[in-house]
Structure formats: C-alpha cells, structure tokens
Amino acid sequence: MNVVHGRDHAGDLEVSTEVVVVGSGAGGAVVAATLAEAGMDVIVLEEGGHVRPEEHARMRPSESLRHMWRDAGFTLAFGVGRSPMINVMMGRCIGGSSALTGGVCFRVPEYVLGDWRALGLTDFTPEHLEPYYAEVEENVHVEDVPLSARSRSTQLFGEGAEKMGFSLESMRRNTNGCVGWATCNFGCPERAKMSVDISYIPRAMKAGAAVYSDCLVERVTTNGRRAVGVSGRVLNGPNGAPGGRLTVRAKRVVLACGAMFTPLVLKASGIGKGSGQVGKNLTLHPAFRIMARFEERVAGWNGALQSAYSSAFEPDGIQLNSVFVPPAILAATQPGIADDHVRRAKTLEHLAIFGANLHDEAGGVVRRGLGREPFVTYRMAKKDAAAVPKALRIAGETFLAAGAKEVFLPVLGLEGFSPDEFRKIDLEKISPKRLECTSQHPLGTCRMGVDASSSVVDDRGQTWDVEELYVTDGSTVPTSLGVNPQLAIMTLATRFAQRMADRRPS
Amino acid sequence: MPPEVDAEAHPLVATPSILAGKRNRLPGPAGERRPTGAFPPRSLETMLAMAEAVFSTSERPLPADRLEYLRRELPDLLNRAAPRGRLMFRLGTFAISTIAPLLIGRLPPLRRLPLDVRIRALRKMEASPFVAALIAVRAVLCLVYYEHPDAAAEIGVRVGPNGRLG
C-alpha cells in the first residue's frame, strides 16, 4: 500500500472511516499504527507532501527546507515586551517534525511528572509510564549515542566541562546504523534515524491504514456534542493550492497537527471555548547556540549531530545540548561583508558549537493569523530571561576552559570575543530582543488536565467539549518539559491510543 | 571544477545537474511551488546585489556562475515560504536596499551602486541598529551560496568521494 498523494487526486475527496487521524507526525503516526493494529479502520491525513526517506536522504539542507519544513523554515514567534523573536522550526511532510529532529529521546524528567501530578494528573508516575516508554523505545530503536560518535566539537565542550566541574552524559536517540553525517535535521543519508515515517507509518499502513498527503484539514465536524468527521481542502489546485473539498466522515477524530495547528483547527470548529485555554500556554524551549573558535581543526560535522548533554544547570532552567550543523548553515552565522565575511567563513572548520535550551514557563499564545498560518506571540518569563546570560556565560567559559581562542554569542550584531573580552562583558546588559533564538519544541497549547475549566483534554486525550474528539500531539503536554519532547509525545500518544483501542467508537 | 561526488547520493552540495540549471529531480515538481505572492524580482535583484558584495573578495569578484546559481535557487526557496515569511523578506530586502545607501550618504537603491560602494554601505549597515535585516537576508544567501560546491571548497569544506565531509 502506498501513500495517496492528494495533489494527484482530481476534484473533491470524500471518504468514510472509523477513525480519522489528522497529522502524521510523532503524535498521529503512533495513534494510527496502534488503532490500525487493533483492527480499526484508520485514515491518516497530512497537510504536507510525501517525500520518501530515500529522497530526503539526497536533499541538500536548503532543499529539505523547501520540501519538508513548514514555511520553508521561516516561521516566527513574535517576542512580546523584552522577549526575542524566535524562529520556530516545524515539519510539514509525512512524518511531521519527527523526520526533522536530531533524534534525541528523553523520558519526561521525574520533577516534571511531579508538576503534572500536582495538577491532579496523578497517574503520571515513572512506573505507570514505563510500559509505554518501553514500547515506543523498542519501536523506534532508542539507543545510547556511543562516545565514539561524539564530534570533535562535542569532545572539546566535554573537555571544558570537566575542567569547569560538570560532565556530559550520552544522549539517547532513535537511530539504527548512524555513522555521523550530522545532517539529521535535513534528512539522513543512511536512513538511520527511525523517525515515524520510517517506523510507525509503515506499520500503520501494513495494518491497513490509508495515508493521504496534501490534505488540509480546516475543521472538525460535529453532531451535537460528538465529533463525526473533518472537513477541509485537498491541495490539488494549481501549483499545490487548495483545490477540491475534503470531507471525511468518521466515528472518531484524532487531532495531531502539532502545538501550532491543533488549536487553530479547534478554534475554527468552535471547540474548547469554555476553558479559554485553546492556543494558550505555549512553551518553546527557547534555544541558543554558542560558538567558539579553536586553533585546531574541529570539523564538527564529523560525528553525530547531537550526542551529549548536561543537566547540571537544570535548577537554573538550563539544559546544555550538543549540536552541530552542516557547513552551509554554519556559514550563515558568520558576520562580515566581502573579505571580512569570506575570511571568517574560511575558518568554519575551526568552530565548535554547543546549544542551550531553556526550561521555559508557558509564555506563548497561538492565534489565527491571516491565511493559513498561525500568528504566534511569546512573552519570555523573567525567570527565563534571567537564565539566558547565565547559559551564555556557562557555555562560553566552558569553551574557554577547553582552549577556545574566540567565543561567539548568539546576539545580533556582536563580533567574536577574545577570552579577556568575554570575561569582561556584562551579559546581563544584553537586551533579550537582540538574541538569535530558535525553537523546535512547541508544546502545551491544548493542555491535558483534570477539569474542563483549566484544560482542553482529559487524561485520555479526549476533549472536554466534544466526545470522540481526541488530541494526541505535543499540544497536550501540561507543562514545559525542559527536554527534547519527541519521546514524551510518542509515549503519551501510545497511552492515549491504547485506551482508545480498548473501546471501539460506536 | 566542482569536486567529484556521487550526484545520486550527495546531500550537502549541489549536484552537477543542478549547477547546469536542470530541474531538480528531487520532489520539486512544478505543482509544489506556491502560486501567490511569488518573491518579487526587485527584491531578488537586491539580494543578488547584496550577494555580490558579501561574497566578493579583493582577489576576485563573485564568479558569474555562482551568481546565476543564486538567481535560480533563491526564488525556489523563498517562493515556498508562507506569505508572512515572504513579506518579512521583502521588508528586509527593502530595508537593505534603502537604508544601507543612505547610511553612507548615497541615494538608494543599493543594487544601482558600484560594488565597492555597496560593500561600504553594507558594512555601515552591519554596524548600525538596522543590522537585523541584514543578518536575516545574509543568512539565507549563505545557506544557498555555500551549497555551491566551488563555494564550499573555497572555505575548506572537503567533500570526500562518498559524499561525506572530511
């Protein structure tokens, strides 16, 4: 069975099924596979196109942005007050953002689960989640990144960390056969990343699920207080524009469009007004990269893109993650014009990078914007803003401890700093507005909870307002995770799906 | 000459067929390009004028084939951004086109200035409060430009015969 390309389908598309899953990323694919394997009739609808993993494997980064990333990677969350503008990266393809991650898999930290239990979600203990984790980790082949896979960039940061009194731990990733191309975000040439387009989607299809690409869902259709399907447009118009009408009748609707689009679909359907929480509570894990220039050739593109982390500064809301990027992306960070720029670009192979994520408070809101894209605003909490200079200081000093000759901060318009200059600069005085900030972890906009007045879905993922309407993506996460979320999303989706599988929709 | 690579397997630099101006075989059928609000030619010309300034050196101007490569590749990338993303870039290129010349006492647009004056104008803008627009546009230029195999080789990116970087 193959993916049905909506853009090749002439005219309207009208189908009936038992379960329709909207979105083919980490949340949707897991539910689709679980329910199809339980014998249910399942259809998966994906707004993006279908790029086969072997095609994605041959793309350059800029081609991946064109074909796989939403908005060609230019989606922004607008900073409110003294908050930075944040570039939010999301997938728009079969496999969703799962196809574009670094593959990092963290279980939900116990202290975060404690916060969830404090909200009344008392089931969420490590013991309760263990079988769900175990199932997902087996299905997507979660493994430790060996020390040998660490790039020289990561090794240098690790050496500095040891001198600074903290250490790096090996990450776990959903990989099988990684040889360290360091291009995970833009497709794996070895197809070693076990993203859901390689793992769960084929399983769902083998169990009989039908998967449609190029299908834009705009609304959930309801009959009274019960979901009975979805409607939207097939993207089969000229040049991929919305064309034919899309009508799917279903006994159960599962939304897994991600934290930016699930709330928009709910709002467009008039669902969730009671709580006033739809689209609110967005967390992003604002991320910064700190670079350093060494005398030795680093060539950090040799090795796993992400391999090690440190949670030593979690009490300050900071997680340090190894990261690297392909040369063309790295060159894009280099300042200067003409000789100044080219001279700096010629030293790329001497650059090391490390990243810092903030365990942020929910400061974002997703609203309907003009056209199909959301309008996202983000107000960084004072606590989080205070963590930024600390994160920059720690990462910079760590590189200096490893022998870096120059440190580059993610601040618009700032040149590199010599060790002495870096130690003298008052990082507190840098306006957050000038920070170069990214996010790949939008979460929390349809949060799970125990009452309809403060949450959007219950602990089974079902919306409070409408029966047989479920949400199973990262938007259900009740509080910020502080760690990469894909394993948490797949684990929650597995839990939701297994409960759905226990009872067929009537 | 571009480094010899396996065109079928190379994920980091443009393949010979793309450099030759042939249609990208990867899933970029005409059907995927968005029809509305295509990136305006004037904005593209500003970006190319900026590219000439950013990537030229005192030893050589920007090679014509790389400029032509950017002319083909940039619209293909930018046309796939959503309308708001395209608008942001239009505003960014407009800001560069008008503000950079004014900062050195010259009349806009930037693209009409000689190369050496353009370089001076952009350097001035990089040191000004308007640097954000310049950084955003330069980042996109770099992203595409350094996927040209000659440009990649020039900055020391060593592509092995199996396509991996050395």
Quick one: A489 and A397 in the same domain? no
First to last CA, chain A: 27
CA of A189: which chain B residue's CA is closest? B11
Query: Complex ipTM above 0.90?
Result: yes
Number of neighbours of residue B6 by Cβ within 10 angstroms: 11
Quick one: A301 and A314 in the same domain? yes
Q: What is the mean pLDDT of chain A?
A: 95
Average pLDDT over residues B102-123: 98
Residue listed under structure tokens 């790039």: A151
> For residue A326, is pLDDT > 70?
yes
Active site residues of A: 441
Q: Is residue A360 one of the residues assigned to a domain? A: yes
Q: What is the mean pLDDT of chain B?
A: 84
Q: How many helices (H) and strands (E) does chain B have?
A: 7, 0
Write down the pLDDT at residue B5.
34
CA of B52: which chain A residue's CA is closest? A338
Quick one: A131 and A252 in the same domain? yes
Interface probe for B, chosen from A51, A58, A76 (most Cβ of B below 10 Å), is A58
Q: pLDDT exceeding 70 applies to what percent of chain A?
A: 100
Write down the pLDDT at residue A145.
98
Write down the pLDDT at residue B23.
56
Q: Is residue A396 one of the residues assigned to a domain? A: yes
Quick one: A329 and A460 in the same domain? no
Quick one: A153 and A246 in the same domain? no
Angle B16-B27-B166 (CA atoms, 0-180°, nearest 5)?
Answer: 45
> Which tens digit of pLDDT belongs to each residue from B148-159?
999 999 998 877
Which structural domain, as residue segments, surrounds residue A483?
4-50+93-101+106-139+206-268+446-501
How many domains does chain A contain in total? 2
Of A389, A420, A439, which residue sits at a domain end?
A439
DSSP-assigned states of every residue in B70-107: HHHHHHHHHTTS-HHHHHHHHHHHHHHHHHHHHHTT-P
Token pair, residue B40, equals 């305006």
A349·B132 Cβ contact <8 A: no
Q: Measure the CA–CA gap between A149 and A147, rounded to whole angstroms.
A: 5
Q: Which region among A57-71, A128-142, B10-24, B105-119 has the lowest average model confidence (pLDDT)? A: B10-24
Of A439, A467, A488, which residue sits at a domain end?
A439
> Which tens digit of pLDDT belongs to each residue from A396-424?
999 999 999 999 999 988 889 999 999 99
Write down the pLDDT at residue B10.
56
A341·B8 Cβ contact <8 A: no
Which residues of chain A lie closer than 8 angstroms to B28, CB-CB? Answer: 63, 66-67
Quick one: A162 and A305 in the same domain? yes
Quick one: A348 and A249 in the same domain? no
A154 and A168 in contact (C-beta within 8 Å)? yes
Residue listed under structure tokens 């684990």: A491
Which residues of chain A lie closer than 8 angstroms to B83, CB-CB? Answer: 370-371, 373
CA of A434: which chain B residue's CA is closest? B132
Q: Is residue A327 one of the residues assigned to a domain? A: yes
Quick one: A253 and A397 in the same domain? no
A491 and A142 in contact (C-beta within 8 Å)? no
Of residues B158 and A204, more confidently modeled: A204
Interface probe for B, chosen from A64, A152, A191, A239 (most Cβ of B below 10 Å), is A239
> Which tens digit of pLDDT belongs to each residue from B59-74?
999 999 999 999 999 9
B147·A60 Cβ contact <8 A: yes
Q: Is residue A125 one of the residues assigned to a domain? A: yes
Average pLDDT over residues A140-148: 98
> For residue B3, is pLDDT > 60?
no
Write down the pLDDT at residue B19.
81
> For residue A355, is pLDDT > 90?
yes
